[in-house]
Structure 1
Amino acid sequence: MSNDSTSRFQAGQTGLIVRIPNAELAVRAWRERFDPSAQAGVPAHVTVLCPFLDESRIDARVCSALADMLGSHRAFDLQFESCGRFPGVLYLAPEPDTQLRRLTEVIADRWPEAPPYGGQFAEIVPHLTVADGQDDALLDEIEGELISKLPFTSRGLIS
């Protein structure tokens, strides 16, 4: 069951992500087929905050505030050793995820009008989506292949 849901991304919508370049080899083919964000041109990543502010609100002050906030956090490595699931979604679980959670909290506190996940979910669960909107049988197949490519470590690049 393929899901062509790139339309869920609205014009002007922004997000803050940590790019995970080392994941590309393991996940690119699956993401290109089954992750709408990849189909929209977004690289392998862990979302920090999406949706963020509308692009019309991104100005020098917002960029400066983000730079200050992000500059106060030390660089960190993430280990990807296992997969996780949400309904219809397969993802890679980053460990440790404490710094990712903290980044989300700090930015959401600064811009309360941009709650994590648009306020849809109470818990922040950092993850790298591999497939979205698929049935369990396909997610099982993808996970079986991914397991052979784990673990790997990546230094996150904030975008």
Structure 2
Amino acid sequence: MIRSPGHSVLAVGVDQLDGYVRARTAHYDASFVSADPAFAHAHITLLAPWLTAPTPADVDVVTRVAAATPAFDTVLERIETFPDGLIHLRADPDRPLRTLTRTLAAAFPQCPPYGGRFGDVVPHVTLDRAVDGVTPATVAADLAPALPVRLRVDRIDLQWWENDNCHVRESWKLR
């Protein structure tokens, strides 16, 4: 098990897939399975890593962004694989998620999405990794009864990810 110093994530939960992603998380490292019922293992990352210790002013900024963002709908249906083997579901449409990520990244330029490692940040739900017999086809077969997922994006969660300490720190409703 790799010990994590912990990091925060601004995310959109995907409750419909949480059982699947929670099981896959447990398969790889059970220390990242949360006992917090509000914690969404299945999520679309908006901004991560975010601030380790946000100030009240930082929280106010996210509050204002959420209040200015209308809730919206998206569909998760298309299973794809990133070049590094990460199997994921893409959101369609993804423009509102991209806009929300850009808005948050502009408000917190010291926290570029994924630490600035990727040029084009694709809104997605991580499902698994292509290793040890896991393929996009096996994941698609496992998830066939659940797809497509119609997602109403109506909140942003501040998640904390750390071994044996994954939980939601705060949540904001979109308008």
Unaligned runs of 5+ residues in structure 1 are none
Query: TM-score, normalized by length of structure 2?
Result: 0.75
2:61 to 61, 65, 76: 65
CA RMSD of the aligned region, Å? Answer: 2.3
The answer (yes or no) to whether the contact 2:78–2:90 under 8 Å persists in 1 is: yes
More strand by share: 2
The answer (yes or no) to whether the contact 2:61–2:107 under 8 Å persists in 1 is: no
Amino acid at match of 2:48: C
Q: CA deviation at 1:79?
A: 0.9
- 1:92 aligns with 89
1:39 to 24, 32, 35: 32
Once residues 121 and 37 of structure 1 are traced to their aligned partners in structure 2, the CA distance between those partners, rounded to angstroms, is 27
Moved over 2 A (4+): 22-34, 36-42
Q: CA deviation at 1:67?
A: 0.4
Query: Is the counterpart of residue 10 in structure 1 residue 5 in structure 2?
Result: yes
SS of the counterpart of 1:14?
strand
Deviations 1:25-80 (A, max 9, x none): 5544334324x69925352110000001122xx12111111100111110012211
- What percent of counterpart residues are identical? 28
Closer/same/farther in 2, CA of residues 79 and 31 from structure 1, 3 Å limit: farther
Unaligned runs of 5+ residues in structure 2 are 158-175
- 2:134 aligns with 138
Q: CA deviation at 1:141?
A: 1.8
Query: Is the counterpart of residue 158 in structure 1 residue 151 in structure 2?
Result: no
Aligned length: 149
